[in-house]
């Protein structure tokens, strides 16, 4: 059944229950009210817990001050990110669907319902309780608190006394609004530490070998059935214990070998796989492409030298110069016989200039020593597989910022972490989870429990971070809008000490409205821009 139809039926069923509960007086009896189709359950029970937690006044006062700086930094970061995204929208070929903008489990297709509900529930409790605690620290009343339901719990709320909140000082009011998103951001960082530093650091490879992370289409490995997430354990009877055992082995180009690999706990043997260095890609207007080389071909020799591995190719290229014409032997798949044979249509290649290639594609890595050097303008992989060490995925998630040397590197690492759901790597599941098992101090955990806990931590991190960053945007009714409004009022009062409150309110209201409309436009532009 279509997912949208199921969602519609569930929603209609919910409406029927809501109408029945209202007519029978069940909602009023249990301190519930309606906000459209959303049920608001109000209670006072949580106030005792909030009062108890807010006893640590000195610590919460320091947190309140820190939360203002956290929100200010996050607000600037989010606005810069939205403005930058607006500049690249015209270059996006496919617009994102509207559902991706909404962080609601069951509506947003990348958020799994189970983990999404858990993450959202935790995030809302953290967010609203922080508002409540700072309200009490500011000596203001909490009238009620509760939970919002729309089929399932979609949020929580704490209602301070609006009159007291309006009449208190700007600083106290700003701290109340800043506490929610700042708590989400801090909680997200703590949860990320548990996800990476505890859970993923405990994940150990199930099999020893070379982990395949990519396969060249129409390559010998691809035709033999190898795919990403497989682990190569033997090549022609020789044991493979690392990625180097694949990349550095001496191959006989075109010879047929057997490749043993594991996938999902099953051992598979691929027979009669053409050995050798495979063309992974070619770049237009450079030597390899102009000579007719294409991805999937086996390059057997260059400049009359047998190419047994990538090191042999590099050694040959070191002795060449730009513009030089060298002999080349490549093997292509004969579709009639299903074997690789020498391609007689390709016998020589005119080498391009290495310096010019790097200047066009990798200017930061270019070197004067590259000038005049011969270059093919192509990439190569043994057997047509891109391999890594078996702990590759676990290691990346256990140490997401390892090796970062600049703000750009750090930013890219953050984007990779956040983008895991878009890459179909969150929640972690088979075949990725087939590669690892809990080890070290967590070896006693059953695999299923280990991965449920790991995925739960990731989604609690992800939703807390998204909720916190979204709420700092300077747009009323988001928390960031109220923080910005009070901050601007404070700034105007310092710049013009003779201004009246009414004058400042008019200016602040105009600027706040402009920013709210700008934020709305920048978000909608991501949906509309690519379609224009």
DSSP state of 248: S
For the ranges 6-20, 317-331, 375-389, the lowest mean pLDDT is seen at: 6-20
Give 369: exposed, middle or buried? Use CB within 10 Å, 0-12, 13-18, 19+: exposed
Tell me: pLDDT of 243 over 60: yes
Q: Could you tell me the two tokens for 428?
A: 């972690």
**Length of the chain in terms of residues written:** 532
* Per-residue confidence (pLDDT) for residue 412, from 0 to 100: 87
Tens-place pLDDT, residues 46-79: 677 788 888 888 899 999 999 999 999 999 999 9
Q: Do residues 228 and 216 lie in contact, with contact meaning Cβ atoms separated by under 8 Å?
A: no
183 three-class SS: helix
Q: Do residues 299 and 280 lie in contact, with contact meaning Cβ atoms separated by under 8 Å?
A: no
236 three-class SS: coil
For residue 238, report the phi and psi dihedrals to the nearest 5 degrees. Answer: -90, 130
Q: Do residues 381 and 280 lie in contact, with contact meaning Cβ atoms separated by under 8 Å?
A: yes
Q: How many other CB atoms are found less than 10 A from the CB of residue 27?
A: 17
* Per-residue confidence (pLDDT) for residue 86, from 0 to 100: 83
Q: Where are the domains of the chain?
A: 1-29, 31-206+407-470+527-532, 210-388
Tell me: pLDDT of 2 over 60: no
Question: Which residue, 220, 212, 354, 223, is CA-closest to 299?
Answer: 220
Distance, in Å, from the CA atom of 466 to the CA atom of 184, rounded to the nearest integer, reads 9
Distance, in Å, from the CA atom of 124 to the CA atom of 110, rounded to the nearest integer, reads 20
- Once rounded to an integer, what is the mean pLDDT over residues 517-531? 81
* Per-residue confidence (pLDDT) for residue 387, from 0 to 100: 95
Q: Could you tell me the two tokens for 35?
A: 């906000």
For residue 125, report the phi and psi dihedrals to the nearest 5 degrees. Answer: -65, -45
Give 253: exposed, middle or buried? Use CB within 10 Å, 0-12, 13-18, 19+: buried
**Pick the residue with more confidence: 501 or 135?**
135
* Per-residue confidence (pLDDT) for residue 20, from 0 to 100: 87
Residue 200 banded pLDDT, cuts 50, 70, 90: very high
Please give the radius of gyration of the chain, using alpha carbons only, rounded to the nearest integer. Answer: 30
Is residue 4 reached through a cis peptide bond, with omega within 30 degrees of 0 on the bond before it?
Answer: no
Distance, in Å, from the CA atom of 138 to the CA atom of 64, rounded to the nearest integer, reads 10
Distance, in Å, from the CA atom of 138 to the CA atom of 434, rounded to the nearest integer, reads 51
Phi-psi region of 429 (alpha: psi -120 to 50; beta: other; left: phi over 0): beta
Average pLDDT, the chain: 87
**Pick the residue with more confidence: 191 or 137?**
191
**Pick the residue with more confidence: 444 or 156?**
444
* Per-residue confidence (pLDDT) for residue 95, from 0 to 100: 67
Tell me: pLDDT of 125 over 60: yes
Residue 1 banded pLDDT, cuts 50, 70, 90: very low
Tell me: pLDDT of 376 over 90: yes
For the ranges 84-98, 164-178, 304-318, 435-449, the lowest mean pLDDT is seen at: 84-98
Residues 6+ apart with CB under 8 A from 516: 474, 475, 476, 481
* Per-residue confidence (pLDDT) for residue 489, from 0 to 100: 86
* Per-residue confidence (pLDDT) for residue 520, from 0 to 100: 86
Residue whose token pair is 């200047």: 359
- Once rounded to an integer, what is the mean pLDDT over residues 201-212? 94
Q: How many other CB atoms are found less than 10 A from the CB of residue 443?
A: 11
pTM: 0.84
For the ranges 157-166, 289-298, 410-419, 499-508, the lowest mean pLDDT is seen at: 157-166
Tell me: pLDDT of 524 over 90: no
For residue 426, report the phi and psi dihedrals to the nearest 5 degrees. Answer: -145, 125
Residue 232 banded pLDDT, cuts 50, 70, 90: very high
**Pick the residue with more confidence: 530 or 74?**
74
258 sits in which H/E element: strand 256-263
Distance, in Å, from the CA atom of 257 to the CA atom of 252, rounded to the nearest integer, reads 9
Q: Could you tell me the two tokens for 123?
A: 């995030």
* Per-residue confidence (pLDDT) for residue 519, from 0 to 100: 86
For residue 509, report the phi and psi dihedrals to the nearest 5 degrees. Answer: -65, -40
Tell me: pLDDT of 154 over 70: no
Tens-place pLDDT, residues 431-483: 899 999 999 899 999 999 999 999 999 999 999 999 999 889 888 878 888 89
* For helices 57-88 and 479-495, angle between their N-to-C axes, nearest 10 degrees: 100
* Per-residue confidence (pLDDT) for residue 213, from 0 to 100: 94
Indicate the CATH number for domain 210-388. 2.30.42.10
Helix (H), strand (E), coil (C) string for 443-459: CCCCHHHHHHHHHHHHH
- Once rounded to an integer, what is the mean pLDDT over residues 410-426? 87
Residue whose token pair is 């020589």: 348
Tens-place pLDDT, residues 312-352: 999 999 999 999 999 999 999 888 887 888 899 999 999 99
For residue 137, report the phi and psi dihedrals to the nearest 5 degrees. Answer: -60, -35
Residues above pLDDT 70, as percent of the chain: 94
Is residue 183 reached through a cis peptide bond, with omega within 30 degrees of 0 on the bond before it?
Answer: no
Most confidently predicted of 11-25, 109-123, 217-231? 217-231
Tell me: pLDDT of 106 over 90: no
Distance, in Å, from the CA atom of 42 to the CA atom of 233, rounded to the nearest integer, reads 60
């Amino acid at each position: 059944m279509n997912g949208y139809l199921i969602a519609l039926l569930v929603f209609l069923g919910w409406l029927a229950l809501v109408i029945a509960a209202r007519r029978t007086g069940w909602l009023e009896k249990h301190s519930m009210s309606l906000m459209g189709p959303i049920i608001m359950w109000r209670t006072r029970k949580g106030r005792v817990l909030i009062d108890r937690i807010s006893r640590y006044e000195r610590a919460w006062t320091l947190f309140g001050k820190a939360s203002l700086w956290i929100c200010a930094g996050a607000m600037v970061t989010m606005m810069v990110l939205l403005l930058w995204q607006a500049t690249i929208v015209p270059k996006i070929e496919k617009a994102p669907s509207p559902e991706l903008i909404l962080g609601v489990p069951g509506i947003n297709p990348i958020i799994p319902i189970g983990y999404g509900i858990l993450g959202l529930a935790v995030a809302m409790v953290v967010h609203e309780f922080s508002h409540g605690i700072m309200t009490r620290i500011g000596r203001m009343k909490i009238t009620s608190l509760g939970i919002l339901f729309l089929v399932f719990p979609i949020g929580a709320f704490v209602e301070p006394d609006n009159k007291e909140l309006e009449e208190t000082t700007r600083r106290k009011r700003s701290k109340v609004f800043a506490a929610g998103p700042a708590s989400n951001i801090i909680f997200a960082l703590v949860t990320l530490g548990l996800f990476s530093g505890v859970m993923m650091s405990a994940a150990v490879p199930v099999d020893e070998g070379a982990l395949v992370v990519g396969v060249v289409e129409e390559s010998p490995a691809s035709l033999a059935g190898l795919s990403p997430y497989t682990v190569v354990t033997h090549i022609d009877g020789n044991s493979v214990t690392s990625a180097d055992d694949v990349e550095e082995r001496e191959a006989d180009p075109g010879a047929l070998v057997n490749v043993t690999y594991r996938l999902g706990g099953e051992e598979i043997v691929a027979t009669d796989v053409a050995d050798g260095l495979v063309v992974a890609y070619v770049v237009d207007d450079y030597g390899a492409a102009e000579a007719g080389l294409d991805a999937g071909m086996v390059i057997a020799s260059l400049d009359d030298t047998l190419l047994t591995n990538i090191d042999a190719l590099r050694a040959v290229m070191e002795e060449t110069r730009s513009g030089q014409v060298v002999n080349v032997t490549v093997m292509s798949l004969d579709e009639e016989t299903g074997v690789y044979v020498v391609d007689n249509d390709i016998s020589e290649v005119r080498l391009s200039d290495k310096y010019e290639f790097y200047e066009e594609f990798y200017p930061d890595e270019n070197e004067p020593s590259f000038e005049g050097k011969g270059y093919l303008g192509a990439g190569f992989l043994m057997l047509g597989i891109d391999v890594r060490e078996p702990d590759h995925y676990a290691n990346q998630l256990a140490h997401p910022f390892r090796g970062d040397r600049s703000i750009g590197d750090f930013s890219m690492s953050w984007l990779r972490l956040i983008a895991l759901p878009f890459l179909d790597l969150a929640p972690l599941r088979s075949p990725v989870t087939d590669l690892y098992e809990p080890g070290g101090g967590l070896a006693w955990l059953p695999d299923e429990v280990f991965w449920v806990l790991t995925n739960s931590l990731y989604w609690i991190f992800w939703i807390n971070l998204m909720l916190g960053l979204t709420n700092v945007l300077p747009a009323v009714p988001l928390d960031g809008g109220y923080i910005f409004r009070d901050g601007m009022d404070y700034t105007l009062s310092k710049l013009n000490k003779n201004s009246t409150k009414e004058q400042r309110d008019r200016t602040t209201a105009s600027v706040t409205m402009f920013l709210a409309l700008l934020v709305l436009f920048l978000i909608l532009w991501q949906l509309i821009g690519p379609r224009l």
